[in-house]
Every structure is written in structure tokens, then in C-alpha cells.
Amino acid sequence: MTTAAATHTYRDDVGSRMGMWLFLFTELILFGGLFIIYAVYRFKFPEQFSLAARELDTLIGTVNTIILLTSSLTVALSITAIQQGKKHLSMMLIGMTIIFALAFLVNKYFEWSHKISIGIYPQSPELLNKPPGEILYFGLYYVMTGLHALHVIIGMVVLVFSMVFIAKGKINQQSYVKLEAGGLYWHLVDIIWIFLFPLFYLIS
């Protein structure tokens, strides 16, 4: 083997997966900071937090939870499909995942715009009249679900790239670690939502 060829053929899927997992840890810790803040303020204003939580629509939250959980399934299936060499099936499943992600965002859009239309948004006179715990609750609600929505969008971009790579044959039956990484990222987005959902919608 020549030296030049040695670097180009260097491949270590275990290492690549490890890098991805490390990155996911940093994402979890990023949200971890927000969860700490949530915990501190919930401890400080328990009644006001549960009062404010009643303003959220549990139905929309539940629907979004189901959508995200299903999308995690389709992305996992797409990895199995590529492992079996079913290229088109795999692409179709990723496509479905992206559609679920879009549906999630549309839902979120309606939820946010409804809140804003009834005057609940940062610095709104309506919100400033409420006690501090409720102001904090809605501040955190917008920040945390907003940051999560941003991650949904990043995840969609990652999935689109995965689809292109499959079409070009860069991700194939022999080498699918890139798709695995994309899938892991999508599971992360799902898991974070699994924590956000009870914290904001269910505890009231």
C-alpha cells in the first residue's frame, strides 16, 4: 500500500460513531443548562409555573410527540433498509421523516402564533402584568421550544444531505456510518422533545 492511498482508504466506523456520540453529549449538556434553569425557577415559583402551564394546549403537544416518535421510527427503518441494500426504500423513509419534521414545525407555528395573538410573548403588556413566575415560564417556553425547533430544522438539513448522499451512492450498503450519524442526531431531537413535553405541557 502506498502512503497516499493509505490515508484515502482510512476508514474507522467505530471512531466516527464515537465522534458523533461525543457531539451529541455536548448537545445534551447545552439543553442541560436550560433544564437547570427551568428546575431552579420551578422550585422558586411552583404555583405560578403550574398556573401558566394550563395555558398550553396539551392536544397539540401530544400530536407533536406522536409525530416525532414516529419520525424516529422511520429514520431507524431507513438505516436498516440501507443495510439490506434497499436504496429506494431507504430514501423514501428518510423523505417520510422529513415530512414528519415539517408537520411538527407547522403545528409549532400554529401553536406559537396562537399564543402571540392572545398577547403572550416576551415584553407584551399582557405578559408583563402577570406574576414573575408566569413571565419566566413563558420566557423559558419560547426559548426552549424555539431552540428545539432550531434543532429540528438542522436535523432536516442533515437528513436532506443524507438523501443526496444515498442517491449519489456515497452512503451505501457497505458504508452507512454517515446515515447512522444523521439518524442519531434525529433521535437526539426526539429525546429532547420527550423531556420538554412533560415539563411544559403535562405538569400543571
Partner 1 sequence: MTSNVPAIEPDYLHAQTNSKGIGAWIFSTDHKRIGILYMVSMLVFFLTAVVLGVLMRLEMLTPGKTIMQPQTYNTFFTLHGIMMIFLFIIPGLPAVFGNFLLPLMIGAKDVFFPRLNLLSWWLFITGGLLALVSLFLPGGPADTGWTFYVPYSIRTTTNVIPALFAAFILGFSSILTGLNFITTIHRMRAPGMTWFKMPLFTWALYSTAWIQILATPVIGITLLLVVVERLFGVGIFDPNLGGDPVLYQHLFWIYSHPAVYIMILPGLGVVSEILPVFARRTIFGYKVIAYSSLAIAFIGSLVWAHHMFTVGMSNTGMFIFSLLTFLVSIPSAIKVFNWIATLYKGSIKIEVPFLFVLSFIFQFSIGGLTGLMLGVLAVNIHVQDTYFVVGHFHYVMFGGTGFGLMAAMHFWFPKMFGKMFKKIPAIIGWLLMTLGFNMLYFPMFILGYLGMPRRYYDYLPQYQSYHIISTVGSWILFIGILIIFINLLISLKKGKKASANPWGGKTLEWTVASPPPVENFHEIPVVEKGPYDYSEYEIKPESVK
Residues 119-158 close enough to bind partner 1 by CB under 8 A = 122-123, 128, 131-133, 135-136, 139-140, 142-143
Please list every residue from 11 through 70 that binds partner 1, using CB under 8 A. 12, 14-15, 18-19, 22-23, 25-27, 29-34, 36-37, 40-41, 44-45
Cβ proximity to partner 1: between 3 and 113 the closer is 3
CB of 22 to partner 1, least distance (A): 4
The 3-class SS string of the chain reads CCHHHHHHCCCCHHHHHHHHHHHHHHHHHHHHHHHHHHHHHHHHCHHHHHHHHCCCCHHHHHHHHHHHHHHHHHHHHHHHHHHCCCHHHHHHHHHHHHHHHHHHHHHHHHHHHHHHHCCCCCCCHHHHCCCHHHHHHHHHHHHHHHHHHHHHHHHHHHHHHHHHHHHHCCCCCCCCHHHHHHHHHHHHHHHHHHHHHHHHHHCC
Q: Can you give the binding site for partner 1, defined by CB under 8 A?
A: 3-4, 6-7, 10, 12, 14-15, 18-19, 22-23, 25-27, 29-34, 36-37, 40-41, 44-45, 122-123, 128, 131-133, 135-136, 139-140, 142-143
